[in-house]
Chain A
Amino acid sequence: MLEKLKALEEEARAAVDAAADLEELKGLKVRYLGKKGELTALLRGLGSVPAEERPLIGKEANDLRQKLEQMIDRKESRLKDAGKSGQWEKERIDVTLPGLPTVLGQRHPLTLVLDEIKDIFYGLGFQVAHGPDIETDFYNFEALNIPADHPARDMQDSFYINPGLLLRTHTSPVQIRAMEKRAPQLPVRVIAPGKVYRRDDDATHSPMFHQVEGLAIDKNITFADLKGTLLLFAREMFGSGQKIRLRPSFFPFTEPSAEVDISCIMCGGDGCRTCSDTGWLEILGSGMVHPRVLEVAGYNPKEVTGYAFGMGVERIAMLKYGIGDLRLFFSNDLRFLKQFS
């Protein structure tokens, strides 16, 4: 019985494949699947099969019925489509034409990096604070322990508006403003992104650039906390394999102070042209907030401590995107801006 079913399937498949038009196909459907068709006829002989084999044979027969139906339906669609071939041809598209452009501009690469820095520090529980671009000498220098005639003022040649007002040379004044606003409450945890200005204009200096300042003040902030925070930042920004290195340095508003290097993102620390073969890249300045700064801003340096850091956004963007020329950022050349889409 099973062999007969098999033979019927083979015969029907050959016939359906060979069918030339819908008419013929219709005849085949009646011939194999109709009430008086061959499958029905075959099943009539089921009585002669032993009782225990009947369920198996019944199932096989049903499967065959379904197979044949599908076979005939598919052939029917193919024959129908073939009948409309002229129309399909008219509707043919050239799939190699470009897709319709999605209208999309892009943020400036510096905004991309600023957004990323902000995201990282939001996640670490920092607030974002802002201060004015035109600052008083007090906030920009005096309050940060840089009195008039201090040699450290040479480090930052400034654009002045008048003797008491200038374009801020760093985002550090926002430290003072943020502390003044909050003192004597604890903790303070802010970052301050913004534009800063220095009287420098050459291949590696722009008279305007961007910084992000960071500040944390609490009862027990330590130098080790600063190191931990910056390591976390470096890994979030440049990848989880990052290492950092702190070197003693000098800033009037921190004591102790540290320059912070990250392992070179080009060579991973082996030494290359970007890192002048040192394996390290300097990316920010940092330290423990100087007691005089805490005092000016309304905190008692015997009771609270804090750390502060400041980084150049252009420097980070150049490293991250492999940009070699600082001046590109402010040329706003579309050929440049479009690369960050």
Chain B
Amino acid sequence: MRVPYSWLLEFINPGLSPEELADRFTMSGVEVGAVEPFGQSMPGVVVGRVVSMEAHPGRSNLVLVKIDSGSEIFDIVCGARNMKPGDLVPLAKPGSELPGGRRIETATIYGALSRGMICSAHELGLELGAEDEILILNGNMALGTEVDRALGFDDMILHLEITPNRADCLSLLGVAYETAALTGAEVKMPPLDLIESGGAIDEALSISVTAPDLCSRYTARVVTGVKIGPSPLWMQLRLLKAGIRPISNIVDITNYVMWEFGQPQHAFDLGLVKNSRVIVRRGENKETLVTLDGVERKLDREVLVIADPEKPVGLAGVMGGENTEITSATEEVLIEAAVFDSPNTRRTARRYNLPSEASQRFEKGVNPEAVLWSQDRAAKLMSELAGGTILKGVIDIKSAHPEPARIKVDPRRVNRILGLEIPAPEIESIMDRLAFTVEKSDDQCLNVTVPARRADIQIEEDIVEEVARLHGYDKIPITLPEGALLENRESASDQVQRLTRDVITAAGFYECITYSFINPAGLDSLRLPDEDWRRHPIPVQNPFSEEQAVMRTTLLPGMLKTVRHNLSYRELDQALFEVGAVFKPLRLPLEELPDEQVKLAMAVTGQAPAPNWLTPSRDADFFTIKGALETLLNRFQVAGVEYEPRTLPFSHPTRSAVILADGEELGYICQVHPEVAAAWEIDQAVTVAEIDLQMIVSKASLVPRYVPLPRYPAANRDIAIVVTRDIPAEKLKKAIIEAGGEITGEVGLFDLYEGKQIPEGKRSLAFSITFRREEGTLTETEINAAMQKIEAALSALGAEMRR
């Protein structure tokens, strides 16, 4: 809402500068986004009078004009001829500068000397009249006055950013009341006196409302014998300051009055309304209406229309119809001022994409008190400015009469909520400044009656806010809540997420956060089969683009997209992870909330962290991720973890495993199939993992468990074997532990070799075995016996011992 300060002064004199008022507004809840002058200053552009006009001797399309600036006569060559001697016009003297930086100098035009220029409105930066017409400045202006001052370019415009509850501030009157509440100044109403010299309105017009649920009030006045033309310059300037384009006197008056009272009005050419009969009704299917913007709109029962017996003539509250538009031929005007249903207006404006100053006001609610004020005001202005005759009376059809809200306010409760000690009389004085009526009740409470313009005030807490904001939020003391303590330690699942980030970052991985919605094509490129639930994500109904069309069912697409992004910036070595939810629908289409499962995803490509000058570089691979995950699962003491080779739809066929804990699937680690990687435009090996963190929460023990220290020394033996490649290391390790018996402790693989000296298809593995007994030192004989059993067990698996 743009508030021209000079216009506001007609309603109230706050005794403050525009900037001071803006500051008070902002600090009391009506934010002022900017305070700026209406126009640029233009030194050297003054009011001049046309003395004479003569044809240019050489050019028939130019005229020689003499302009009196009050102290000097200027000869000017001009292309426009819409002025006449005696008119006041803007004279840009040589050396002056117009908005946009155009400098005016003395020039010779086809042999005639031209000292300066006379300007159109557009040349002064005003969207007014035709571009090639001189602006006629009629009115009470002294010759030689600077035009910027004469036109009020220095008037300050307050840009109010109004929250949805403060519809009252969408009018100058409402802004004036708010100013009064802040300053104590008095509000003045614009003049509403009018002369009804025409016949009775009932004989000229009949109205019926058949959809009272969508139109609780419809009022009309009629003004006859109007002469259509531009509105006076002062009104055009005010509208421009408010941000509204002037159109014609009748239309301008409806907009002008809307700015004053917040009540949208529409003017119909009554002569084009069939039988002078107006029906406010729902639209019919297959009906159409060409609105003022020239677009044909399809109507139906959802839409409220203004109609005559033959056809719709307007979209209620949103836009009028072309068929009853005010034109230069209009003589009789029907002025509409109504109260249309907020939600319905909102839906209609959205549906046709026609948000307007009018629809915005109906959506937020208009002031029922102002309906007839605006009728009187508009009729008065039409009779004064367009020479019309006002018919006697107003047609006023209303199905609901909103009662002013009466609220019981307990000053003790006000103070209790605010943490303040404001005495009751001060609360009463705040109500008074707001022009709310207060009656004392016998129980120390106040009965407050709220004027209709403040429909946002309905309950005691609303009054609490009024008191607080007018008393000043800055005067609220600073305290902290008292009360019982709560158990507020981090939950197990939050702990798991935090510790996961600790461990995974300590392994050299950087955390990513990607969008929860993904492109479904990503799931196709992962080759997930139809029976996989991850292939059937929850679609977003109104996504921005296909890139964000479905809720992710796996974090993998986000990881791969990030890898590709970073590769494109030549970050060849990457170790990334994300902790985030995937969305598993219980059924599709979605009827209930889906299962939101928190996952950990990891991705590595290029060299393993952290390459350096000392240790030989190696590629990040399956074991890079597996190492980090083993550390993580150990940290959480997850028992019974196994890595089972399994080819996944998107994995390298032989470099892929699922992670099991006591037989339950926690997730997977795999190198991405080169073709899948290629589909993501990744041309180097990339290995990924995804595990279910909720499952970890259920299997984790977060508190370390103490085991008594061994009291007797342990003994170590190494064993090296050659065995066929197809026997997994884990199987050999298990065989060792089983065969070695209860004295066998940790078994670790410390060397793996394939190549020279080892037969094709075989590999050499070396394990280090720790033997220990809880009670007593082990003897050489016992250890040798265990080793023999171990060798036998390994031989049974086809292993040869290397000595």
Q: CB-defined interface of A93-107 with B at 8 Å, one 1/0 digit per residue?
A: 000011011111111
Check if B412 is an interface residue, CB within 8 A of chain A.
no
Q: Is the CB of B419 within 8 A of A222?
A: yes
Report whether A97 and B482 are in contact in the complex, using a CB–CB cutoff of 8 Å.
no
With contact pairs A134-B583, A151-B346 given, residues A103 and B478 touching in the complex (Cβ less than 8 Å): no
B476 within 8 A of A: yes
What 0/1 pattern do residues 426 to 469 of B give for CB contact below 8 A with A?
00000000000000000000000000000000010110110011
Residues of B within 8 Å of A211, CB to CB, are: none
Q: Does B175 contact A (CB under 8 A)?
A: no
Given known A-B contacts A228-B480, A229-B481, A256-B464, A155 and B164 have beta carbons under 8 A apart: yes
User: Is there a chain B Cβ closer than 8 Å to A9's Cβ?
Assistant: no
Given contacts A98-B613, A132-B596, contact A161 B505 (CB under 8 A): no
Q: Judging by beta carbons under 8 Å apart, are B515 and A105 in contact? A: no
> Which chain B residues lie closer than 8 Å to A186 at the CB level?
483-484
Report the minimum CB–CB distance from A170 to chain B (whole Å). Answer: 15
In the complex, which residues of chain A have a beta carbon less than 8 angstroms from the beta carbon of B342?
149, 151
Contact of A134 among B26, B461, B594 (CB under 8 A): B594
- The smallest beta-carbon distance between B458 and chain A, in angstroms, is 10
> Which single member of B461, B481, B539, B569 contacts A288 (CB below 8 Å)?
B461
In the bound complex, how far is the Cα of B565 from the Cα of A337, in angstroms? 13
**C-alpha spacing A104/B576, complex, angstroms:** 12
B565 near A331 with CB under 8 A, answer: yes
Min CB distance A198 to B, Å, is 11
The interface residues of chain B lying within 8 Å CB-to-CB of A246 are: 473-474, 476
Task: Tell me if A221 counts as interface (CB < 8 A to partner B).
Answer: yes
> Are B163 and A162 in contact (CB-based, < 8 A)?
no
Query: What's the Cα separation between A337 and B165 when bound, in Å?
Result: 42
Q: How far is the CA of A232 from the CA of B514 in the complex (A)?
A: 32
CA distance A224 to B165 in the complex (A): 24
Q: A330 with B513: in contact, given A187-B486, A222-B416 (CB under 8 Å)?
A: yes
Q: By the criterion CB–CB under 8 Å, are B508 and A103 in contact?
A: yes
Task: Tell me whether A136 is interfacial, beta carbon within 8 Å.
Answer: yes
Residues on the A chain within 8 Å of B417, using CB: 222-223, 288, 305
Decide: A160 and B164 in contact? CB cutoff 8 A: no
Residues of B within 8 A of A122 (CB): 488, 490
Is B501 touching A107 in the complex (CB atoms < 8 A)?
Answer: yes
A199 to B6, CA, bound (A): 39
**In contact, A245 and B474 (Cβ under 8 angstroms):** yes
B363:A151 contact, CB within 8 angstroms:
yes
Contact of B481 among A102, A104, A221 (CB under 8 A): A221
| Contact (Cβ within 8 A) B505 A225 | no
Question: With contacts A133-B516, A162-B541, A291-B461 known, is A189 near B486, CB below 8 A?
Answer: yes
Given contacts A106-B511, A148-B343, A250-B165, contact A224 B477 (CB under 8 A): yes
- The verdict on A338 contacting chain B, using a C-beta distance below 8 Å, is yes
How far, in angstroms, from A247 to B25 measured CA to CA in the complex? 10
Nearest chain B residue, comparing its CB with the CB of A187: B483
Instruction: Check if B479 is an interface residue, CB within 8 A of chain A.
Output: yes
Between B166, B481, B517, the greatest number of chain A beta carbons within 10 A of the residue's beta carbon is seen for B481
Please, how many angstroms separate the alpha-carbon atoms of A110 and B501 in the complex? 13
In the assembled complex, B542 has its CB within 8 A of some CB on chain A: yes
Contact of B516 with A195 in the complex, beta carbons under 8 Å? yes
Q: Mark A119-160, 1 if CB is under 8 A from B, else 0.
A: 000100111100011111000000000001111101100011
In the complex where A105-B575, A187-B486 touch, is A334 in contact with B510 (Cβ < 8 A)? Answer: yes
A247→B29 contact, CB < 8 A: yes
Asked whether A149 lies within 8 Å of B343 as measured between CB atoms, the reply is yes
B211 within 8 A of A: no
Q: What's the nearest-Cβ distance from chain B to residue A133, in Å?
A: 6
**B residues 563-600 in Cβ contact with A at 8 Å:** 565-566, 569, 571, 574-577, 581, 583, 589-590, 593-594, 596
Chain B residues positioned under 8 Å from A221 (CB to CB):
481
B364 interfacial contact with A, CB 8 Å: yes
Q: How far is the CA of A160 from the CA of B590 in the complex (A)?
A: 12
B164 touches A229 (CB 8 A): no
Indicate the member of B29, B462, B609 with the most A CB atoms within 10 Å. Answer: B29
Instruction: Please report which residues of chain B, range 511-544, place their CB below 8 angstroms from some CB of chain A when the two chains form the complex.
Output: 511-517, 538-544
* A332 and B514 contact, CB distance less than 8 A: yes
Is B424 part of the contact surface with A, judged by Cβ < 8 Å?
no
Is A255 within 8 A of B464, CB to CB? yes
Report if A111-B511 is in contact (Cβ < 8 Å); known contacts: A100-B614, A126-B488.
yes
Point out the residues of chain A lying under 8 angstroms from B469, CB to CB.
248, 256
In the complex, what residue of chain B is closest to A306 when comparing beta carbons? Answer: B481
Chain B residues with CB below 8 A from A98, complex form: 612-613
Q: Is B771 an interface residue (CB 8 A)?
A: no
Q: Restricting to A31-52, which residues have a CB under 8 Å from any CB of B?
A: none
B-side contacts of A288, CB under 8 Å:
417, 461, 464
* Cβ–Cβ contact A216 & B610, under 8 A: no
Report B-chain residues with C-beta under 8 Å of the C-beta of A97. 613
Closest B residue, CB atoms, query A152 = B164
State the Cβ distance, A116 to closest chain B Cβ, in Å: 13
B490 x A134 contact (CB < 8 A): no
Picked from B364, B465, B476, B516, the residue with its CB within 8 Å of the CB of A255 is B465
Q: CB distance B541 to A334 under 8 Å? A: no
Q: Is the CB of B511 within 8 A of A134?
A: no
Q: Does A257 contact B (CB under 8 A)?
A: yes
Tell me the A300-341 residues at the B interface (CB within 8 Å): 305, 329-335, 337-338
The 8 Å CB contact of A249, one of B29, B486, B505, B566, is B29
Which residue of A105, A125, A337 is within 8 Å of B485 (Cβ)? A125
Scoring A residues 174 to 200 as 1 if CB is less than 8 Å from chain B, else 0, what string do you get?
A: 000000000000110100000101010
Query: Which residue on B lies nearest to A224, using beta carbons?
Result: B419
Q: Does B9 contact A (CB under 8 A)?
A: no
> Is A201 positioned at the interface, with any CB of B under 8 Å from its CB?
yes
Are A222 and B551 within 8 A (Cβ)?
A: no
- Chain B contacts of A110 at CB under 8 A? 513
Residue from the list B474, B480, B494, B498 in contact with A232, Cβ < 8 A:
B480
Would A248 and B419 count as touching, CB distance under 8 A? no
Query: Complex formed: what's the CA distance from A331 to B566 in Å?
Result: 9
The interface centre, meaning the residue of A150, A151, A165 with most chain B CB atoms within 10 A of its CB, is: A151
Report Cα–Cα, A235/B273, bound state, in Å: 67
B507 at the interface (CB under 8 A from A): yes
* Residue numbers in A under 8 Å from B614 (CB-CB): 100
Q: Are A332 and B465 in contact (CB under 8 A)?
A: no
Closest B residue to A123 by CB, please name it. B488
Q: Is B548 an interface position by the 8 A CB rule?
A: yes
Given contacts A167-B540, A291-B459, contact A208 B516 (CB under 8 A): yes
Query: How far is A102 from B459 in the complex, measured between Cα atoms in Å?
Result: 62
- The answer for the CA separation of A101 and B614 in the assembled complex, in Å, is 10
A187-B484, A224-B418 known; A333-B565 Cβ under 8 A: yes
Closest CB in chain B relative to A231 CB, distance in Å: 6
Is B506 engaged at the interface, CB distance under 8 Å to the other chain? Answer: yes
Q: Is the CB of A111 within 8 A of B501?
A: yes
Q: Tell yes or no: A75 within 8 A of B by CB.
A: no
Complex Cα–Cα for A305 and B590 (A): 37
The CA-CA distance from A290 to B28 in the complex, in Å, is 19
Q: List chain A residues, Cβ under 8 A from B506.
A: 103-105
| A201: B residues at CB distance < 8 A | 544
When C-beta atoms are compared, the residue in chain A nearest to B610 turns out to be: A101
Task: Report yes or no: A125 in contact with B488, Cβ–Cβ below 8 A.
Answer: yes
- Beta-carbon contact of B513 and A329 below 8 Å: yes
A232 to B480, CA, bound (A): 9
Determine the distance from Cα of A290 to Cα of B548 in the docked complex, in whole angstroms: 35
A236 within 8 A of B: no
CA distance A219 to B506 in the complex (A): 45
Give 18 A-B pairs besides A246-B473, A246-B476, A337-B510 with Cβ atoms closer than 8 angstroms. A101-B612, A103-B609, A106-B505, A122-B490, A127-B488, A132-B596, A134-B551, A135-B593, A152-B164, A208-B516, A222-B417, A224-B478, A228-B479, A247-B27, A256-B461, A330-B515, A332-B513, A335-B569
Q: List 7 A-B contacts (CB under 8 A).
A: A105-B504, A159-B542, A162-B590, A219-B483, A222-B479, A225-B479, A248-B469
What are the nearest 6 A-B pairs in CB distance? Answer: A224-B419, A248-B29, A222-B419, A149-B343, A256-B465, A250-B163
